[in-house]
Structure 1
Amino acid sequence: MTTPAAGAAAGNSNPYGLMAALHQGGLIAQTIFTILVIMSVASWYIMFTKLFEQQKILNQAKRTRTTFWTAASARDGANKLEKNSAYRQIVDDGLLAQEQHTKLIDPVDQHEWLLGSLSRSQQAINSKLGTGLSVLATVGSTAPFVGLLGTVIGIYRALIKIGAAGQASIDAVAGPVGEALIMTAVGLVVAVPAVMGYNWLVRRNKVVAEQLGTFSTDLHGYMVSNGAVRPTLVAVKTAPAPAVKVAATTPKA
Structure 2
Amino acid sequence: MAPAAATPQLGFSHFIAQTDTLGKALFVILVLMSLATWYLIIVKTISNARIRRRSDEFVEHFWNATSLEAVSHEIATHGVADPFSHLTSHALYARDHHTKFGASKLVESGSQGEFVTRTMRKVIDEETAKLEGGLTVLASVGSTAPFVGLFGTVWGVYHALVAIGSGGAATIDRIAGPVGEALIMTGLGLAVAIPAVLGYNFFVRSNRVLLARLDAFAHDLFAFLTTGQQIVTEGNVRTIKAADTRVIAKS
Short-chain TM bin: 0.7 to 0.9
- The match for 1:190 among 176, 189, 192 is 192
Instruction: Write the distance in 2 (CA, Å) between the matches of 1:231 and 1:123.
Output: 28
Cα offsets for 1:155-185 (capped at 9, x unmatched): 1012202321232124532443122111000
Instruction: Write the distance in 1 (CA, Å) between the matches of 2:124 and 2:246.
Output: 19
Q: Which residue of 2 aligns with 1:105?
A: 104
Q: Secondary structure at the match of 1:68?
A: helix
Q: Is 2:46 the counterpart of 1:52?
A: yes
Q: Which residue of 2 aligns with 1:67?
A: 61
Q: Secondary structure at the match of 1:105?
A: coil
- Residues 161 and 172 of structure 1 are in contact (CA less than 8 Å); yes or no, is this contact kept in structure 2? no
Q: Which residue of 2 aligns with 1:249?
A: none
- Residues 59 and 84 of structure 2 are in contact (CA less than 8 Å); yes or no, is this contact kept in structure 1? no
Instruction: Write the distance in 2 (CA, Å) between the matches of 1:211 and 1:230.
Output: 21
Instruction: Write the distance in 1 (CA, Å) between the matches of 2:247 and 2:188.
Output: 52
- Residues 55 and 84 of structure 2 are in contact (CA less than 8 Å); yes or no, is this contact kept in structure 1? yes
Using structure 1 for the length normalisation, give the TM-score.
Answer: 0.80
- Residues 98 and 112 of structure 2 are in contact (CA less than 8 Å); yes or no, is this contact kept in structure 1? yes
Equivalent residues in 2 for 1:136-147, closer than 5 Å: 136-147=138-149
- The match for 2:28 among 14, 30, 34 is 34
Question: What is the identity, as a one-letter code, of the residue corresponding to 2:64?
Answer: T
Bigger radius of gyration among the two: 1
Change in 2 beyond 3 A, CA 1:15/1:79: farther
How many aligned positions are there?
A: 224
Residue 71 of structure 1 deviates from its aligned partner by: 1.6
Using structure 2 for the length normalisation, give the TM-score.
Answer: 0.81
Determine what percentage of the aligned residue pairs are the same residue: 37
Q: Which residue of 2 aligns with 1:163?
A: 165
Residue 105 of structure 1 deviates from its aligned partner by: 3.4
Q: Secondary structure at the match of 2:63?
A: coil
Residue 14 of structure 1 deviates from its aligned partner by: 8.2
Residue 231 of structure 1 deviates from its aligned partner by: 6.2
Q: Which moved more, 1:94-103 or 1:116-125?
A: 94-103
Instruction: Write the distance in 2 (CA, Å) between the matches of 1:96 and 1:66.
Output: 21
Q: Which residue of 2 aligns with 1:85?
A: 82
Change in 2 beyond 3 A, CA 1:38/1:179: same
Q: CA RMSD in A?
A: 2.3
Structure 1 residues not aligned, in runs of 5+: 1-10, 236-253
Instruction: Write the distance in 2 (CA, Å) between the matches of 1:230 and 1:49.
Output: 38
